[in-house]
Structure 1
Amino acid sequence: MTADATSPRPTLRLDPAALHEITESGAGPRLLDVRTPGEFRTAHIPGSYNVSLDTLREHRAELLRHLDEDVVLICRSGGRASQAEQALAEAGLPNLRVLEGGVLAWEAAGGPLNHGPARWDLERQVRLVAGGIVLLSGLAALLVPGLHLIGTAVGAGLTVAALTNTCAMGMLLSKLPYNRGPRTDLQSVISALGAHS
């Protein structure tokens, strides 16, 4: 486990090999996947519970009553899981762990995944939309002077996203029906967490 130098408190990181070893022993931690329900449905680590980052932030006090300190947070690559760790820590649950590299690293390390219908990752969708806006505004600027500034604004937004490890465009795209998939039933997740105890 390593500490994340970008957060104010050290984030405990767990690499895929260590998590695989822990889960294989049968006494593994609770795995909370904070990606959108659509992403979770596409591929997820067996035994993980889906509580999207927005849902987790909104209901963290309620979730906190059903969690102990043996929780590993998972997302696509680690960014949203770190945000979830911060939200839960602020609510009073310390010493959470984040799967380093997320589902991408887990899959690359040969960890098992449950697969559902294929769909584009949120990051790929952001690249398509941002690239499309820049391309179209650049072409349109040949006819209407000043439209190239739209592409400049998108570039500035992507720069801020990289520096803050957040993405406003990704958050907006995650609200689309394509990405939401079936809504997370919080009561079902809480019941399952209670059964895990």
Structure 2
Amino acid sequence: MSAISPAEAHNGGWIIIDVRSAGERAVACVPGSIHAPLETVDLDTSSFPPGRIALLCKAGTRARLAQARLSLCGIDAAVIEGGMDRWQREGLPVSSSTVSHWSLERQVRFGAGLLVVVFTLLAASVSPWFLVCSGLVGCGLVFAGATDICMMGNLLARMPWNRIRSGG
């Protein structure tokens, strides 16, 4: 079986493996699902309980990639069509552990883009030296991409809107 609907996954006794990032999962996740980010999904499949596996991501693309990886390991898994976006549109149960409704990755992209725009405007209206600040933001993004260490992401993760809710 290659694909199932969110309702089938919810009502059919499937083991749901969430292949999204930890930040995306903190914003909203399927209660009882197992977190296995795409980049690690085929490294330790022994942690998956026995049963029918359904893969979940935001819209379906990463779940299909995970399905191909698991297939190489001899594991048959279905993709939840439309991913978390469709799951939520259909009103199926979701839990959240943070106040923010934006993933950390989205917050970083917004913050970096805003800084570049502001520094570029300041360079055009105040002093060309503000272009150095735009360049530093670019260097930070290159560093984050090359090392998977994002200083802006680490800072944003400490903000009040990204803190774990105490009430669950």
TM-score range, shorter chain: 0.5 to 0.7
- Out of 56, 79, 82, the position equivalent to 2:64 is 82
Query: What displacement does 1:39 show?
Result: 3.1
Query: What displacement does 1:51 show?
Result: 1.8
- Out of 55, 75, 89, the position equivalent to 1:73 is 55
Question: Structure 2: which amino acid aligns with 1:62?
Answer: D
Which residue number in structure 2 is paired with residue 195 of structure 1?
none
Query: What displacement does 1:48 show?
Result: 0.7
Which residue number in structure 2 is paired with residue 100 of structure 1?
81
Q: Tell me how far apart the structure 1 counterparts of residues 28 and 123 of structure 2 sit (CA, whole Å).
A: 41
1:79-158 aligned within 5 A: 79-93=61-75, 95-119=76-100, 120-122=102-104, 124-142=106-124, 143-144=127-128, 147=131
Q: Tell me how far apart the structure 2 counterparts of residues 98 and 172 of structure 1 sit (CA, whole Å).
A: 30
Q: Tell me how far apart the structure 1 counterparts of residues 23 and 33 of structure 2 sit (CA, whole Å).
A: 14
Q: Tell me how far apart the structure 1 counterparts of residues 57 and 77 of structure 2 sit (CA, whole Å).
A: 14
Instruction: Structure 1 unaligned segments of length 5 or more: list them.
Output: 2-11, 158-167, 183-197
Q: Is residue 24 of structure 2 the alignment partner of residue 39 of structure 1? A: yes
Alignment deviations for residues 58-78 of structure 1 (CA, whole Å, 9 cap, x no partner): xx2431574667211112232
**8 Å CA contact retained: 1:15, 1:100:** yes
Query: What displacement does 1:141 show?
Result: 4.6
Relative distance call for 1:45 and 1:85 in structure 2 (3 A) is same
- Out of 5, 19, 27, the position equivalent to 1:15 is 5
Q: Tell me how far apart the structure 2 counterparts of residues 80 and 22 of structure 1 sit (CA, whole Å).
A: 17
**8 Å CA contact retained: 1:14, 1:100:** yes
**8 Å CA contact retained: 2:24, 2:103:** yes
Aligned-CA RMSD value: 4.0
Query: What displacement does 1:132 show?
Result: 1.9
Query: What displacement does 1:103 show?
Result: 1.3
Relative distance call for 1:44 and 1:124 in structure 2 (3 A) is same
Q: Tell me how far apart the structure 1 counterparts of residues 68 and 153 of structure 2 sit (CA, whole Å).
A: 22
Question: Structure 2: which amino acid aligns with 1:109?
Answer: E
User: What SS does structure 2 have at the residue aligned with 1:72?
Assistant: strand
Query: Normalising by structure 1, what TM-score?
Result: 0.55
> Identical aligned pairs, as a percentage?
30
Instruction: Structure 2 unaligned segments of length 5 or more: list them.
Output: none
**8 Å CA contact retained: 1:23, 1:29:** yes
Q: Tell me how far apart the structure 1 counterparts of residues 120 and 24 of structure 2 sit (CA, whole Å).
A: 32
**8 Å CA contact retained: 1:64, 1:88:** no
Q: Tell me how far apart the structure 2 counterparts of residues 86 and 175 of structure 1 sit (CA, whole Å).
A: 30
Alignment deviations for residues 22-62 of structure 1 (CA, whole Å, 9 cap, x no partner): 5324xx22101122334323321122111223332xxx243
Pair member with larger Rg: 2
Query: Normalising by structure 2, what TM-score?
Result: 0.62
